[in-house]
Amino acid sequence: MSPIAKIKTDGSTEEKIKDAARKLFMQKGFEATKTRDIANEAGINLALLNYYFRSKEKLFEIIVKENMGQFMEIISNIVNNEKTTIQDKVEALVANYIDMLTQFPDMPLFIMNSIKVDPERIKIRQRFSGSYFMKQINEAIKAGKIAPMNPMNIMLNIVGLTIFPFVARPMFLNKGGITIEEFGTLMQERKKLIPGWIKSMLEAKK
Amino acid sequence: MSPIAKIKTDGSTEEKIKDAARKLFMQKGFEATKTRDIANEAGINLALLNYYFRSKEKLFEIIVKENMGQFMEIISNIVNNEKTTIQDKVEALVANYIDMLTQFPDMPLFIMNSIKVDPERIKIRQRFSGSYFMKQINEAIKAGKIAPMNPMNIMLNIVGLTIFPFVARPMFLNKGGITIEEFGTLMQERKKLIPGWIKSMLEAKK
DNA sequence: ACTTATTTTAATCATTTGTTTAAAATATTT
DNA sequence: AAATATTTTAAACAAATGATTAAAATAAGT
């Protein structure tokens, strides 16, 4: 089960508010989500939001931090595993992201927007650059096993190929587009295809 | 010069408002941009916004439509050219997008958000699916010249590899990250690299 | 059972925000 | 130059919004 799904959803007022806030913030963003919307969605009195979380801002920060945490944990665990190969890691990254985003498709756009508003909030990049994965890649380049290039390109390609479809998802699902099911199938296909594409990228000696 | 830069910027009040609105809407989104912010940025009286554009909503629609138009025009012209090869088109798409986004890096996130809020607004997808480019790809697949796959994957990969870095841009530019100049250089590198990667993808017969 | 602490509620406040109004300033027409 | 149309301004309005308050309801502690 995806880590995010493990977030406890007991019946407590605090959790009801956080669940409602998570849903609405992800759907509509910070500004467009009104405290009264959250209170209604959670089925609680408006004042309880401030009672438990002091302010809309603080509540938002908690939600963002939790979501970021999910993203991070997935990356860190895979990317610092010293027992797996480069290709193993690519497969694991792609599969885990696609599974997670299938469950929470609004997350990428939400996180990108959050970072844009407050860039200090997160340093996903560092997770990559300081990782064992990067060490492996640099060694492979030195050994001539993969084409020499700025390693940031590799990260951008893995993440871009995986996440971008979810960022662009609303574009596909409009009238005349594809259905949610078809989109899901396409993503499952890509789960298998992307690692192959990355592999041929790494090998392509221009 | 990029088409968007051609938008006339005479000193008229109407244009001053539109310029300010374009800048702020792109930077902060619809809800977070206040009419008073626009008026200040444009250096005009608040009431003039409603005098010239009736409402914030109408002004926003105009901005979105104009931006979409830019995106569309680039795509359509390239994708329906019957004289260029598949590889030519990939190169042209990538180069044009990167040049445009280098000038207007906030555009992708802005457009993605706009589509999410009102998915009817645009059908970029159709531009691709009904295009001469798609015809070429389907023929190439039939002829066994490129690996058989859902053509939507090809589109997703071209656009994803090109646009995603700009969506993720704020992540790179924070403290401890890379500078704007370094990001620009990286994008120029990718302008040359992406077509090669796409090529090796199309050839990869798994 | 009584007291105290915690949680919930309804009402209200102070700002903010999009929009309107009516008058003033400026430009255009006759 | 006078009359008319257009543009700009300052002020105000009404609704929405985040937050607070004081009282009521409920739970916990002794």
Q: What is the pLDDT of residue B1?
A: 38
Angle between helices A56-79 and A13-32 (to 10 degrees): 90
Q: Is pLDDT at B9 greater than 60 in this prediction?
A: no
Q: Which residues contact A69 (CB under 8 A, 6 or more apart)?
A: none
Within 10 angstroms of residue B128's Cβ, the number of other Cβ atoms is 21
Rounded to 5 degrees, φ, ψ at A103 are -80, -35
Chain B residues whose CB is inside 8 A of the A159 CB are 164, 168
Most confident of the ranges A4-13, A17-26, A169-178: A17-26
* B21 CA – C21 C1', rounded, Å: 24
Q: By mean pLDDT, which of A46-55, A90-99, B105-114, B197-206 is the weakest?
A: B197-206
**Bigger pLDDT: B93 or A205?**
B93
Average pLDDT of chain B is 89
Within 10 angstroms of residue A201's Cβ, the number of other Cβ atoms is 25
pLDDT band (50, 70, 90) for residue B125: low
pLDDT tens, A63-122?
999 988 887 888 888 999 999 999 999 999 999 999 999 999 999 999 888 888 777 656
DSSP helix, strand, coil percent of chain B (3-state; round to 5): 75, 0, 25
Give the Cα separation of B70 and B184 in Å (integer).
21
Cβ contact A113–B116 (<8 Å): no
Find, among A110, A167, A149, A156, the residue nearest to B156 by Cα: A167
Chains A, B: CB contacts under 8 A, how many? Answer: 139
Q: What is the pLDDT of residue A25?
A: 96
For an interface test with B, the pick among A25, A26, A124, A174 (most B C-beta atoms closer than 10 Å) comes out as: A174
Find, among B65, B68, B82, B80, the residue nearest to B124 by Cα: B68
| C-alpha distance from residue B24 to each of A147, B28, B35, B39, B45 (Å) | 42, 6, 10, 11, 17
Bases of chain D within 7 A of a CB of the protein: 7-12, 16-22
Give the Cα separation of A117 and A114 in Å (integer).
5
- Percent of chain A beyond pLDDT 90? 71
**Residue B171 contacts residue B177 (beta carbons within 8 Å):** yes
Give the Cα separation of B123 and B89 in Å (integer).
20
Q: What is the pLDDT of residue B204?
A: 66
Average pLDDT of chain A is 89
Q: Is pLDDT at B6 greater than 90 in this prediction?
A: no
Which two tokens mark B97? 């997008």
**Residue A16 contacts residue A42 (beta carbons within 8 Å):** yes
Chain B residues whose CB is inside 8 A of the A113 CB are 29, 109, 113
Q: Is pLDDT at A8 greater than 60 in this prediction?
A: no
pLDDT tens, B50-91?
999 999 999 999 999 998 888 788 888 899 999 999 999 999
Q: Which residues contact B162 (CB under 8 A, 6 or more apart)?
A: B93, B94, B97, B98, B101, B190, B194
Q: What is the pLDDT of residue A10?
A: 65
**Among A109, A119, A122, whose Cβ lies nearest the Cβ of B173?**
A119
Cβ contact B171–A119 (<8 Å): yes
